[in-house]
Amino acid sequence: MDLRHTMKGRRALSAVAITTGLLLTVAGCGGGDDDGKSDKETASSPTSARTGGDDDKSESQPPEAAQVLAEVKGENGLTLAITSAKRDEGGFVTVEGTVTNNTDNAWVAANWRGDERELSKNGASIAGANLVDQQGKKKYLVLRDTSGRCLCTQFTGGVRQGATADWYAQFPAPPDGTTKVSFQVGAMPPATVELSEGE
């Protein structure tokens, strides 16, 4: 009898020890899960920080396309935009912009070259453009070098249908008091722009 009681007692103690061990293991795992969640939260924090970094990157994207100061349409679907008209230190004004060919064919800028015989060497260009100072009642033509080449864009090969090309032209600067001028080329309507000071 005593041997049986002893065996039963040992089995009971073993069962209690195993149960206690299992409970501690489960509790330990449960605590590990909480720690795991903390680790996940900690790990997700850098992700949030990275997401914030991405937001910062999206806020500091490259600047958008240049601001359009004036835009005119004419000549069977051409669109001329002026994006800059700056006075430079050398006593001249640089006007820049784009021309978009919305016509049915390639555009060669033949009538933007101007009628002067000297300008015939410039080919398809914006050499015939001018600035008009309404206040001072003066007209300024595109600057040229000694061989008659304009200080302006030449549209070599023309502008394809649906394409947009950049252009520039340099003119003598009107007096300092003049802040607005009209830009005109070919049969396009005049575009009034405000002059800004160059850097």
| pLDDT tens-digit series, residues 64-79 | 566 999 999 987 889 9
Whether 179 and 194 have beta carbons less than 8 Å apart is answered as yes
Give the separation between CA 185 and CA 131, rounded to whole angstroms: 9
Give the separation between CA 128 and CA 107, rounded to whole angstroms: 16
Q: State the pLDDT at residue 81.
A: 96
pTM of the predicted structure, to 2 decimals: 0.64
Read off the pLDDT of residues 159-182 as tens digits, 9 standing for 90 and up. Answer: 999 999 999 999 999 998 899 999
Q: State the pLDDT at residue 3.
A: 47
Name the E strands within the chain. 70-74, 78-88, 92-101, 130-133, 138-141, 164-172, 180-184, 191-194, 196-197
Is residue 105 pLDDT above 70, yes or no? yes
Q: State the pLDDT at residue 197.
A: 84
Better-predicted residue by pLDDT, 42 or 179: 179
Phi then psi dihedrals of residue 14, to 5 deg: -65, -40
Q: What is the DSSP letter of 90?
A: T
Task: Assign 146 a pLDDT band (cuts: 50, 70, 90).
Answer: confident
Task: Assign 53 a pLDDT band (cuts: 50, 70, 90).
Answer: very low
Is residue 43 pLDDT above 50, yes or no? no
Q: What is the DSSP letter of 189?
A: P
CATH of segment(s) 70-197? 2.60.40
Kind and range of the H or E element at 13? helix 2-59
pLDDT mean over 133-148: 91
Give the separation between CA 137 and CA 81, rounded to whole angstroms: 24
Residue 69, burial from CB neighbour count under 10 angstroms (0-12, 13-18, 19+):
buried
Q: Which residue has the tokens 């600057």?
A: 143
Q: State the pLDDT at residue 42.
A: 47
Whether 75 and 184 have beta carbons less than 8 Å apart is answered as no
Task: Assign 63 a pLDDT band (cuts: 50, 70, 90).
Answer: very low
Q: What is the Cα 140 distance to its own chain's centre?
A: 32
Q: State the pLDDT at residue 75.
A: 73
Task: Assign 143 a pLDDT band (cuts: 50, 70, 90).
Answer: very high
Task: Assign 18 a pLDDT band (cuts: 50, 70, 90).
Answer: low
Closest CA to 124 of 136, 137, 109, 138: 109
Q: State the pLDDT at residue 40.
A: 46
pLDDT mean over 28-49: 48
